[in-house]
Amino acid sequence: MDLIANVERELAQLETHSLTRRRRVAETRCAPLQVVDGRPMLAFCSNDYLGLAAHPRVVEALREGAQIYGAGSGASHLVSGHSRAHAVLEERLAQLQAPYVESAQALYFSTGYMANLAVLTTLGANADAAIFSEALNHASLIDGARLARAGVSVFPHGGTDTLAAQLEASNAVTKIVVTDSVFSMDGDLAPLPQLLALCERHGAWLVVDDAHGFGVLGENGRGALEHFALRSPNLVYVGTLGKAAGVSGAFVAAHHSVIELMVQRARPYIYTTAAPPALAHALLTSLDIIAGDEGKGLRAHLQSLLAQLDSELTLARWQRLPSQTAIQPIIIGANDEALRAAAALHANGLWVPAIRPPTVAQGTARLRVTLSAAHTHQEVAQLAAALNDLERT
């Protein structure tokens, strides 16, 4: 019984610090209007930034993919699970990043979490490598750095001067700088042009996790590298496909030799069942939408919703972080106050998650509003009014 008692003590500690997380059950498809735990809700919490998760053409492509390829892949990629759908998707993804990543090839993964583990454990496999990791990087990059044998140094958020000094002082054989492009809890952009210049000067890789940029940033939705018009052989790009692309999975686009080394060495690629080919098939339709006029229209609508939220929110006490992306955090501070705010919104039929440590730093608990092109102006007006009211009470 001691075993169980220890676990229960740990759970009780979380509860004491208002850190217990609860899952809500969505009964309907991912969309602004959902039934959640049996109640209709207006949701501002998904990463479905373009509304493709329930897009009729994407859903139809998924059904078609299942008819062609069946339900599952049956094996890992290197055994027999690598299908034509995976291969075609990888070619398309490589083409999308080819203007920015020299000699680009792409590799499709089941999740972004695994893609990040794969990149860092492959490039940073040896003890004579060094990883330089941004302080606010996503957990999957932190875990990838922990799994790699390379030494790890953390540089402060936006701290290009510190990074420059760390790179200068390092005599590692392989240097790897790694950063989110859009920080997932703050919504701001990394200074990628400055980071790339430093990497080129010091012969370092720049690994860019564009989980929240792919599909959203750039004229054609190709993501952060298109947004900043970067091009370099030093770039290793990670895009996820479960957010703006509306399905699931992720990809790495890098020089073809890096991709080949990952196929040979990356354990999160090799030792896991390949994602269902139907998902890859559905993603081809997502990519068509993202790249076409419809995608441009969706991104323009999302931008107009961001501008609306910006003009209608009149917060004084809570701090809204400056963000030009779909991630719009409102910093409240204390864990219990953030939870109370989320509960009050919930009682009003609005689903906005409270984000607490360890996901964010102590004392910076927040409401993380995310907007999607699937939202209407009227829905954003409803959110802004509710937040303004709530802050005053």
Is 286 among the residues that bind ligand PMP (CB under 6 A)? Answer: no
Q: Residue 211 Cβ, how far from ligand PMP at the closest point, in Å? A: 3
Q: Which residue has the tokens 């990463």?
A: 47
313 vs 323 by CB, closer to ligand PMP: 323
C-beta of 268 vs 277, nearer to ligand PMP: 268
Amino acid symbol at 259: I
Q: Are 104 and 239 in contact (CB under 8 A)?
A: no
Does residue 357 have a cis peptide bond before it, meaning omega lies within 30 degrees of 0?
no
CB of 140 to ligand PMP, least distance (A): 5
Residues composing the chain: 393
In the list 113, 205, 318, 351, the residue contacting ligand PMP (rule: CB under 6 A) is 113
Residue 134 binds ligand PMP, judged by CB under 6 A: no
Contact indicator for 159, 113 with CB cutoff of 8 Å? no
Site string for ligand PMP, 186-225 (x = CB under 6 A): -----------------------x-x--------------
Q: How far is the CB of 238 from ligand PMP (least distance, A)?
A: 7
**Does 120 engage in binding with ligand PMP (CB under 6 A)?**
no
Q: How many residues at the interface with ligand PMP, by CB under 6 A?
A: 13
Nearest CB to ligand PMP, comparing residues 116 and 166: 116
Does residue 237 contact residue 253 with C-beta atoms inside 8 Å?
A: yes
Compose the 227-256 pattern: x for residues touching ligand PMP by CB under 6 A, - for all others: -------------x-x-------x------
- Residue closer to ligand PMP (CB basis): 155 or 384: 155
Q: x-or-dash pattern for ligand PMP, window 153-192, by CB under 6 A?
A: ---------------------------x---x--------
- Mapped onto helix, strand or coil, the DSSP state of residue 47 is coil
Task: Classify the phi-psi angles of 97: left when phi > 0, otherwise alpha if psi is within -120 to 50, otherwise beta.
Answer: alpha
Tell me whether residue 270 or residue 385 sits nearer to ligand PMP (CB atom).
270
φ and ψ at residue 159, rounded to 5 degrees: -85, 70
| 361 CB-near residues (< 8 Å, 6+ apart) | none
Cβ atoms within 10 A of the Cβ of 204, count?
24
Question: Of 62-70, 92-100, 108-116, 147-155, which part binds ligand PMP (CB under 6 A)?
Answer: 108-116
Is 212 a known ligand-binding residue?
yes
Q: Which residue is nearest to ligand PMP (CB)?
A: 112
- Strands 104-109, 354-355: pairing is unpaired
Q: Is 160 annotated as a binding residue?
A: no
Which residue, 117 or 172, is less far from ligand PMP as judged by CB? 117
Q: Do the Cβ atoms of 118 and 266 come closer than 8 Å?
A: yes
Q: For residues 211 and 327, what is the distance between their CA atoms, to the nearest angstrom?
A: 12
The nearest distance, CB 182 to ligand PMP, in angstroms, is 7
Query: Helices then strands (H, E): number in the chain?
Result: 14, 14
Token pair in block for residue 379 = 């829905």
* Secondary structure letter of residue 81 according to DSSP: I
Distance from C-alpha of 231 to C-alpha of 237, rounded to nearest angstrom: 11
Cα–Cα nearest to 367, from 323, 324, 320, 322: 320
- Give the chain's end-to-end CA distance (angstroms, integer): 46
Token pair of 123, please?
């490039």
Q: Pick the piece of the chain touching ligand PMP (CB under 6 A) from 109-117, 228-236, 283-291, 368-376.
A: 109-117
Sites of contact with ligand PMP (CB under 6 A): 111-113, 116, 138, 140, 180, 184, 209, 211, 240, 242, 250
Residue numbers in the known binding site for substrate are 21, 138, 359
Residue numbers in the known binding site are 21, 112-113, 138, 184, 212, 240, 359
Residue numbers in the known binding site for pyridoxal 5'-phosphate are 112-113, 184, 212, 240
